[in-house]
Structure 1
Amino acid sequence: MKKLAFIHDHEFVINGKDAYSPGKLSTSSFDRYLSIFDHVTIVSRYRLKANGDTLATLNKVTDSRIDFQRFENQSKFINRFVLRSKYKKKLREILKHFDALVIRVPSEIGFLASEIALELKIPYVCEVVACPSDAMDGFNSIKSRLYKKIIVQSMKKTVLFSSGALYVTRYFLQERYPTKGFTCIASNVEINELGRCREYSQKSVYRIVLTGNLDSFHKGYDILFLALEELTKKLSFNIELHLVGKGSIFKRAINYTNINIHYPGVLGRTDLFDLLDSSDLYIQPSNQEGLPRATIEAMSRGLPCVVSDAGGLPELVDPKFVHPKNSPNELANKILNILTSKGDFELASINNIEVAKQFLTKDLRARRLDFYQKLRDLC
């Protein structure tokens, strides 16, 4: 029996013997590994279920072939720098029983695991999903500026010496974090069908959508609210803005006569796609990204998109619909232009459908299976 460890910094909610994800990970997320390996153990951060946790809103990620190994948060200063040898010894005892590792990076537990894997000669691959350099820039604090060099060097070393690396971008992450091993390009998005190309029509109210964690400082909500201040002065129509996702830090009561904001919370896939299909524009003003699945999902519905130049976002859309990150004025102008230009609106819709075809599940699944089979062949 071939056993795989999946290593990440995702924080799972533990209830007895079961693990739940408050994010997008679910049991089906691990099908790609279980198609190749016999058993998967998740090694990740955790917290115990609290009274405020409603398990029905979380994704259970344990079954007969998946179990969970709790590990302490290695992003804490004392764990990362003072007690590192202690946690390295503990993690070595866990990992020595596995045939191979999948490390989703950036991840401090993952960086530590890669050191152990190299010492024990356990083959591992990296799933490279984001750039920690951009993440630290997004926090814009003294602590993040000091930590940036350390985390970037750890990331580069982990990916460089991996047996292989799966990248969610086509160019961006590959250029920053190359590997000596085999490679694969495959986003985490799951697109089973495409929507229709949109025809432009003048409206009195346009609906705009952004999906993301409202507690995240990387999704560009601060820039969006500054852009709204500019937009409200220029609009000849109304905007209905839907900010979809969990969290509360960036929930703000905005009182504009021509802009209304809705916070529908976390939506299931059907409800989310219904909202996208009834909307006119999707925006992604992030300051840090890999290749966000939310944007690709919106593109797959033929929805025009205005995005920042963070991470792999410029790989997805026409340059005329890309604004510099942390630039509220440019974001406001791009939004206004695409909602008042028939040519740009319809061009964006057509282009987005064409790009989304590259992310159909059946094609990505074949690439992923080939990638993980190469890992198993090394065991």
Structure 2
Amino acid sequence: MTSIAFIHDHKFYTNDNHDAYSAGKLSVSSFDRYFEHFDKISIISRFININEVSVVFEELNKVTSENIDFIPFEDQSNFKNRFILRNKYKALLKEKLKNVDALVIRVPSEIGFLASEVALQQGIPFVCEVVACPADAMDGFDSIKAKIYKKIIVNAMSKSVLNASGAIYVTEHFLQNKYPTNGFQTNASNVEINAIKDPKNLVNKSEYEITLTGNLDSHHKGYDVLFNALDILDKKLNTKLLIHLVGRGTYFKKECNYQNIVITYPGVLNKQDLFNLLDKSDLYIQPSNQEGLPRATIEAMSRALPCVVSNAGGLPELINHKYVHDKHSPQELADKIYNILNSHTDYNQASLDNTLNAQKYLTSELKERRSQFYTQLKRLC
């Protein structure tokens, strides 16, 4: 029987029995790709006691099961744990890893960086799932603390990926160029797409619908740039805009008083309800200041939606440069939204291009790549 530890900084809700629940996209099915090769999975990650917070239980996904257990671990992102008590937590993690055959570390992750150090010392094979750029994340905060921490986290990320037995990247080029590995490697997004819609054509109408999916508490999704862009658009529109900001969170949930723009906050949607919303939308936007390769954008592409996105992370790998704006420029975002909704030729071509590009991310296409990657890891066990 082979076992792995899956390590990340994702915050799980946990009860006294160490059952883990996720408020994000992680679910039991998220770990099926590993069970093709391994018999047991231990999840090591941050935790929140479910009895100490107010949550909507129905919105949580239980991720523990008969062959998945959860090992709560203290947050390593604060100064005390990251620096002063590092040897203590390294010893603790060494104990928790003594019965696993290999590690799957999703980075960036401070617990993951610590685990890579332990794995190298103990001779435990490990691979990195490289999903985002921490340098871009720190730039998004624009503070002295973030600038100092940026050098530390980039160095830790670079060492972890470089020394890994292998690395699987969500991008085709962006993350590979910034965080190379000496191990075996491949690329595969974490998106799950089983079908692609036919291309759509722009129809003249009095109101257009635009959708963005993201955590409204996140400073990385570009909401500040978006609201500034909407201020610009509101003054030049000759049609109405209905903006759907999908996702949990309240920090960027604003009541705006535009003349031609209405913003809705549908909250968290299941996959089918999200696809229904995308299907009736006219445009998808992703104005993030930090990304790996966002699943939400690829999902929108699969629904034949033209997309206007920022130049963060791997987004320019997905979308024609005509519809990519500088991540710090509300003016560029406003101009590109306005232009594509006023050009039948550009709109129709963008829809066609996105349906063709989305085919590379069909589950059937990605599954074989992932399978070959984890087969290589199992050979090291």
Range moving further from structure 2, 16-25 or 123-132:
16-25
Within 5 Å, give how 1:98-117 maps onto structure 2.
Answer: 98-117=100-119
Partner of 2:36: 35
| 1:321-360 per-position Cα deviation (integer Å, ceiling 9, x unaligned) | 0001110000000000000000110111000000100000
Secondary structure, aligned partner of 1:119: helix
Which of 231, 234, 249 is equivalent to 1:229?
231
Q: 2:159, 2:286 → 1: CA distance? A: 30
The match for 1:97 among 93, 96, 99 is 99
Match status 1:46 vs 2:42:
no
Distance in 1 between residues matched to 2:336 and 2:202, nearest whole Å: 16
Unaligned runs of 5+ in 2: none
Shift of 1:51: 4.8
* SS of the residue 1:219 aligns to: coil
Q: Which residue of 2 aligns with 1:289?
A: 291
* 1:139 paired residue among 125, 138, 141: 141
Q: In the alignment, residue 349 of structure 1 is paired with which amino acid?
A: S
Runs of 5+ unmatched residues, structure 1: none
Paired position in structure 1 for 2:189: 187
SS at match of 1:234: coil
Matching residue's letter, 1:4: I
> How much has 1:363 moved relative to structure 2?
1.3
Q: Displacement, 1:196?
A: 1.6
Cα offset, 1:16, TM superposition: 2.9
2:90 to 88, 95, 119: 88
Residue 351 of structure 1 is matched in structure 2 by 353
Checking the alignment, whether the CA contact within 8 Å between 1:20 and 1:55 is kept in structure 2 is no
Q: Secondary structure at the match of 2:112?
A: helix
Provide the residue aligned with 1:16 in structure 2.
Answer: 16
TM-score, normalized by length of structure 1?
0.99
Note the alpha carbon deviations across 1:123-178, whole angstroms, 9 max, x for none: 00000000000000001111100000000000000000000000000000000000
Between the aligned partners of 1:326 and 1:347, the Cα distance in structure 2 is 26
> What are the Cα deviations for residues 173-214 of structure 1, in whole angstroms up to 9, with x where unaligned?
000000001011100000000012011111100000000000
Q: Which residue identity is paired with 1:285? A: P
Instruction: Specify which of 278, 291, 297 is matched with residue 280 of structure 2.
Output: 278
Asked whether 1:323 is paired with 2:316, we answer: no
* 1:15 positional shift: 2.0
Deviation at 1:96, TM superposition (A): 1.7
* Paired residues for 1:162-311 under 5 Å: 162-311=164-313
Aligned 8 A contact 1:194 1:301 in 2: yes
1:88 partner amino acid: K
Shift of 1:285: 0.2
Alignment of 1:6 with 2:1, yes or no, is no
Question: Is the 1:215–1:247 contact (alpha carbons within 8 Å) kept by the matching residues of 2?
Answer: yes
Q: Which amino acid aligns with 1:60?
A: K
Question: Separation in 1 of the partners of 2:197 and 2:67?
Answer: 35
- 1:54 is displaced (CA, Å) by 2.2
Residues of 2 paired with 1:35 and 1:330: CA distance? Answer: 45
Alpha-carbon offset, residue 9 of structure 1: 0.2
CA distance in 2, matches of 1:216, 1:310: 15
Normalised to the residue count of structure 2, the TM-score between the two structures is 0.99
TM-align CA RMSD? 0.6
For residues 19-74 of structure 1, give each alpha carbon's deviation from its aligned partner in whole angstroms, at most 9, with x where no partner exists.
Answer: 00011000000000111000000000001013511221101001101000000000
Counterpart amino acid of 1:64?
E
Query: 4+ runs of 1 displaced by more than 6 Å?
Result: none
Contact 1:5 1:95 (C-alpha < 8 Å) held by counterparts: yes
